[in-house]
Copies of this chain bind each other. A is one copy, B any other.
Amino acid sequence: MNEIEKFFALKDVRVTAMRLLIYKFLADKQVAVTLSDIENAFEKADRTTLYRTIKTFEDKAIVHQIDDGTGITKYALCEKGCNCEIEADLHLHFHCNNCNETICLTEHKIPQIKVPNGFVSEDINLVVKGICDKCSGL
């Protein structure tokens, strides 16, 4: 039983060939991916399987969903130790208007946000859009 399989067991996710492949695919990527990115990477595989795999990963806090405003949901591996629950796990995302890629800025935690009286904050989505480091040439 290798590292990934142990990790799956820890997360209460059964090991299958497809799941291992998708996990490795995500681990290699430095950017958040869409479902069709995954589809393109595994053309022989069925869309539904990929869809349900990523949903399983999401349920088990292996990946987190990212809504970057493009209308297409993206996914990225959670950080080690992330439970996708507490505010400590929340980080900001950057979407590049040029190359259209979205990346996790895991080092950049969400600042404290004040909400008016009576409002209870449970979750925060913070997306910065602009030009990424690769595209800006700075």
Contacts and interface: CB of A to CB of B under 8 A. Distances in A.
Given A67-B67, A92-B113, A111-B113, A125 B118 contact: no
A117 interface: yes
A136 B120 contact: yes
Contact of A116 (B69, B121, B133): B133
- The size bracket of the interface on A is 35 or more
A119 B126 contact: no
Contacts of A134: 118
B129 A117 contact: no
Interface of A: 67, 69, 71, 73, 92, 94, 97, 105, 107-108, 111, 113-134, 136, 138
